[in-house]
Amino acid sequence: MTETGEKFDRINAIPAYQLVADAIEREILARRIRPGEPIGTEAQLVKQFGVNRSTVREGIRLLEQSGLIHRDSGRRLTASLPHYSRLATRMSRAMLLHEVTFRELWEATTALEIATVEQAAEHATADVIAELQANVASTEQASADPAAVAELDTQFHSLIAKASQNRVLQLAREPSSLLIFPTTEIILRKLKEGVPRLIQAHRKIVDAVSRHDKEASRLWMLRHANDWRRGFERAGKDVDQPIDRVYMKEVMTR
């Protein structure tokens, strides 16, 4: 394979479409093109890069997927901030393909939710607290409908993340939460006592957060997480099995 007296490195010809994508990406990351600004039309890019139209288009597809560019009202290509949800969805899919277990998900999610609620207790504003209270009220109203409660539970934890005012935590918690919260519905459907316990935990958490009580926030989030895992086990699921893809339809569809 490799000759003894090699003098030259292997030439790795990078495809032109990749170079096009790299060039545009560099401009955006270096902030020479700001989010919201137009990239230019395909014809302009063809002229600037000196490659064919098809090549430019392939390059654009690469960036489109990563969320760095975005076609505005159908037409113009503009630079954009990659949105969290998009990235989170990809991460979730990767986790599914890697067949992670519920235990792994639970451990990570618990740690992240606790860290998040502690920050929420520190930084929550009146606005967000009002939203949280509204959420808890809605959950009480919907307590007979497991699907609605599960949906509101997901929203509750997103609001806590919003209250934390920490975008890194928001970003880090989203992929696992996307995977784990759908199981809430299954748990609630099987366990009668699930809904009242969930509502109590949520109410206590909102109380603690609104009092800026970090310790109580942490404690109730921990209890909430433990309930959740116990619910999973009592629903007859094995925490060491890969999470069931059957229940994850919502993650698979874009």
Binding site for DNA (CB under 7 A): 13, 15-17, 41-43, 50-55, 57-58, 71-77
Residue 10 vs residues 5, 14, 16, 77, 89: alpha-carbon distances, Å = 13, 12, 18, 36, 37
Q: Which is nearer to DNA, 53 or 245 (CB)?
A: 53
Q: How far apart are CA 240 and CA 235, in angstroms?
A: 14
Binding test (CB under 8 A) with a second copy, winner from 45, 77, 114, 159: 114
Q: Which stretch binds a second copy (CB under 8 A): 130-138, 168-176, 184-192, 201-209?
A: 168-176
Q: Which is nearer to a second copy, 108 or 149 (CB)?
A: 108
Which does residue 41 touch among DNA, a second copy, none (CB within 5 to 8 A, set by kind)?
A: DNA
Helix (H) or strand (E) holding 15: none
**How many residues in the shown chain lie near a second copy by CB under 8 A?**
55
Give the shortest CB-13-to-DNA separation in angstroms: 7
The sign one gets for the Cα dihedral 161, 162, 166, 167 is positive
Amino acid identity, residue 247? Y
Amino acid identity, residue 143? S
Secondary structure (3-state) at 101:
strand
Q: Do 20 and 59 form a contact (C-beta atoms < 8 A)?
A: yes
Which residue do the tokens 């090549």 mark? 55
Q: Which of residues 209-248 bind a second copy (CB under 8 A)?
A: 245
Q: Which of residues 84-113 bind a second copy (CB under 8 A)?
A: 84, 87, 90-91, 93-98, 100, 104-105, 107-112
Q: Do 170 and 162 form a contact (C-beta atoms < 8 A)?
A: yes
Q: How far apart are CA 110 and CA 223, in angstroms?
A: 10
Binding test (CB under 8 A) with a second copy, winner from 23, 26, 41, 125: 26
Secondary structure (3-state) at 100:
coil
Q: Which is nearer to a second copy, 65 or 226 (CB)?
A: 65
Amino acid identity, residue 222? L
175 near a second copy, rule: CB under 8 A: yes
Give the shortest CB-6-to-DNA separation in angstroms: 15
Count of other CB atoms within 10 angstroms of residue 205: 27
Give the shortest CB-26-to-a second copy separation in angstroms: 8
Which does residue 175 touch among DNA, a second copy, none (CB within 5 to 8 A, set by kind)?
A: a second copy
148 near a second copy, rule: CB under 8 A: no
Which residue do the tokens 């401009």 mark? 27
- Site residues for a second copy per CB under 8 A: 17, 22, 26, 28-31, 35, 54, 57-59, 61-67, 81-82, 84, 87, 90-91, 93-98, 100, 104-105, 107-112, 114-115, 119, 166-169, 171-173, 175-176, 245, 252, 254
